[in-house]
Structure 1
């Protein structure tokens, strides 16, 4: 754990994919199903792009993800991929696929019991973000689940600004694994914590965070500094 002195926050805001949720356990089979369906429907003729390309885009807005994953596709294919991705993710969650990172649930419960307000701010779709929290049993611990899909924000900076204003939060930590999370914190005057245990982003993306953690439980001693 790399430590700067942090102020105790009123709230902690978490990214979802690569921070709370180990997304690849759900996304790898979903990715293959999406492209099989696109080919069956005549919307995409090439081979399935490498799933690593999709995983490396986690944290981006969905429209930007598809431009990276299948740059040669039509807008119709990308819009259909949005629908299929959400449908197959939801079906996977209902079957119990995908996992929270180790110690996430226990740590969130401890933070909640200490009176810290908890939020999610994700660039994902509303139904997906709320679905993960619901099916993994952590939804009741949060004061708000914010997604770009629900609030139609173009950046995570804007999404977090909306969250802070809605709940009149004066001090918070932003916790995530991508540069967009660090930017969202910095852009709103928050202290930032980078999750170095996630494998989707490059380590360089979270170099600017105030603190780096290698285990989710490390959030608890940070509160006691």
Structure 2
């Protein structure tokens, strides 16, 4: 239970605000094809790894690929995603856009994800929520884990009582490392029973924080 009203809500992206796994899978498979790799990635395989930094995903999906080829592959994935994500995007979860707009009238809102540099900005533009977001930070910006990025964000914006909203047990682990309360959304990609609050929909989450005194 969150006792103190937060001064900021910091939101994960994938599995919390949208589902863009189909687009990510397409981009990865295009990169495999262009590099002459026979691997064909399925949505279900990538879904299990969502929220994980790309270098860790690579170790799972391409265990036999040498380091130099991995670097080239990752660079190509980034190029393809930069082209495809703004066009194909993903599916916003129900209630996200209107919820973000409502919450921004009371709270400072931030995005924090393990995605690559620039993808949070692509997401915010695609979702048409840019005007309500006060800032963002990602693994691609700093090459730091989420807990470290939480502390960095807190320091940078002088946040006193932020909370992290995410959809995996790993999100909760990182929030606790940063000393933040963790709000879990059950509709996302992961599962956990370790949280301070949990909601079944973004609309339910929005109503709770709008009425928190």
TM-score by length of 2: 0.91
Structure 2 CA distance for aligned equivalents of residues 178 and 127 of structure 1: 22
Q: Deviations over 1:184-222 (max 9, x none)?
A: 221222211111101x32x2xx31111221111112232
Determine if contact 1:125/1:147 at 8 Å carries over to the other structure.
Answer: yes
2:207 maps to 1:210: no
- Aligned equivalent of 2:45: 53
How far residue 133 of structure 1 moved from its aligned partner, in angstroms, is: 1.4
How far residue 6 of structure 1 moved from its aligned partner, in angstroms, is: 4.2
- Aligned equivalent of 2:151: 161
Q: Deviations over 1:158-206 (max 9, x none)?
A: 01000001111111111001223112221222211111101x32x2xx3
Structure 1 CA distance for aligned equivalents of residues 111 and 83 of structure 2: 22
Choose the corresponding residue for 2:172, options 169, 182, 185.
Answer: 182
Structure 2 CA distance for aligned equivalents of residues 148 and 36 of structure 1: 26
Choose the corresponding residue for 2:74, options 64, 82, 87.
Answer: 82
How far residue 122 of structure 1 moved from its aligned partner, in angstroms, is: 0.8
TM-score by length of 1: 0.86
In the TM superposition, structure 1's runs of 4+ consecutive aligned residues that sit over 3 Å from their partners are none
Structure 2 CA distance for aligned equivalents of residues 121 and 5 of structure 1: 20
Structure 2 CA distance for aligned equivalents of residues 143 and 167 of structure 1: 9
Structure 2 CA distance for aligned equivalents of residues 6 and 85 of structure 1: 43
How far residue 79 of structure 1 moved from its aligned partner, in angstroms, is: 1.2
Change in Cα spacing, 1:221 to 1:137, as seen in structure 2 (3 Å) is: closer
| Pairwise CA RMSD | 1.7
Q: Deviations over 1:60-111 (max 9, x none)?
A: 1111111011111121232122222222222222324312211111100000
Structure 2 CA distance for aligned equivalents of residues 5 and 142 of structure 1: 22
Aligned pair count reads 211
SS of match in other structure, 1:113: coil
- Aligned equivalent of 2:115: 124
Q: How does 1:103-118 map to 2 (within 5 A)?
A: 103-114=95-106, 116-118=107-109
Structure 2 CA distance for aligned equivalents of residues 193 and 216 of structure 1: 11
Structure 2 CA distance for aligned equivalents of residues 165 and 5 of structure 1: 21
- Aligned equivalent of 1:7: 4
Structure 2: gaps (5+ residues) = none
Structure 1 CA distance for aligned equivalents of residues 83 and 92 of structure 2: 17
Structure 1: gaps (5+ residues) = none
Structure 1 CA distance for aligned equivalents of residues 70 and 184 of structure 2: 31
Structure 1 CA distance for aligned equivalents of residues 89 and 138 of structure 2: 21
